[in-house]
């Protein structure tokens, strides 16, 4: 079984529908944790057969790890189930290949599947410079649940979407994930202000400042 999970907040007028449509195509269940949205995000998720759990107040920038842990627990997987975790601004053009890749991973003893992640700066181009290199690394997006493992989490704003010990053998899928959260100028401005306020003395200050670079280096997404 593939269980899709998402942590969401005020996504109704962004990419939520596209993400829900792609997840529905490959997942047997969908679990959504809503971080106190004030728009129609929960209702939209419910239309796509998601089990939605609503929080009374947002912890964005306060304790994201708490929300990520809660989402992991809400999935309630059986031993051997796979958990796919996408954010509400992430799409994967060839997500339909995931079930077959999972079958191959199980045959090979792999318990984590990695995607390439592209920070889209426009509908057609992604950012590529010293501060924006996510596409040069592998990112685990889908893991096989092991009931015997004592899962551990990082703390802080950049805690990750999975426990740090979520898998032991990682397979590269070749799937490309498009992260759309940076693709509109107005969203970049909002994110810049949020990160600067939530993490004023963090390790990523130079990257935060680079968000508003008027002439970023872009490459075409192929």
Per-residue pLDDT of 53-87, as tens digits, reads: 999 999 877 788 899 999 999 999 999 999 999 99
**pLDDT value of residue 59:** 86
Residues paired with 46 in a beta bridge: none
List, in order of start, the domains of the chain with CATH numbers. Answer: 2-220 (3.90.550)
Q: How far is the C-alpha of 168 from the C-alpha of 187, rounded, in Å? A: 36
**pLDDT value of residue 157:** 67
The whole-model pTM stands at 0.92
Contacts of 29 by beta carbon, 8 Å cutoff, 6+ apart: 1, 2, 3, 4, 51
| Average pLDDT of every residue of the chain | 94
End-to-end CA distance of the chain: 31
Are residues 220 and 125 in contact, defined by beta-carbon separation less than 8 angstroms?
yes
pLDDT (tens digit, 9 = 90+) per residue, 161-196? 999 999 999 999 999 999 999 999 999 999 999 888
Q: How far is the C-alpha of 24 from the C-alpha of 93, rounded, in Å? A: 14
pLDDT (tens digit, 9 = 90+) per residue, 85-131? 999 999 999 999 999 999 999 999 999 999 999 999 999 999 999 99
């Amino acid at each position: 079984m593939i269980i899709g999970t998402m942590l969401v907040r005020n996504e109704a007028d962004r990419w939520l529908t596209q993400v829900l449509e792609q997840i529905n195509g490959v997942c047997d269940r969908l679990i959504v944790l809503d971080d106190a949205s004030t728009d129609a995000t929960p209702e939209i998720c419910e239309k796509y057969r998601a089990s939605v759990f609503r929080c009374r107040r947002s912890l964005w920038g306060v304790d994201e790890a708490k929300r990520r842990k809660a989402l992991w627990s809400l999935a309630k997987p059986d031993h051997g189930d796979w958990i796919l975790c996408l954010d509400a601004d992430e799409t994967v053009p060839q997500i339909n290949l995931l079930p077959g890749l999972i079958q191959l991973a199980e045959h090979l003893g792999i318990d984590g599947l990695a995607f390439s992640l592209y920070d889209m700066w426009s509908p057609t181009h992604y950012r590529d410079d010293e501060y924006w290199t996510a596409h040069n690394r592998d990112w685990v997006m889908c893991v096989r649940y092991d009931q015997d493992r004592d899962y551990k989490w990082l703390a802080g704003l950049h805690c990750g979407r999975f426990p740090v010990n979520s898998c032991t053998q990682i397979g590269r899928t070749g799937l490309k994930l498009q992260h759309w959260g940076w693709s509109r100028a107005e969203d970049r401005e909002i994110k810049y202000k949020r990160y600067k306020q939530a993490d004023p003395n963090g390790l990523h200050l130079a990257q935060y400042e680079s968000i508003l670079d008027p002439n970023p280096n872009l490459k075409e997404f192929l």
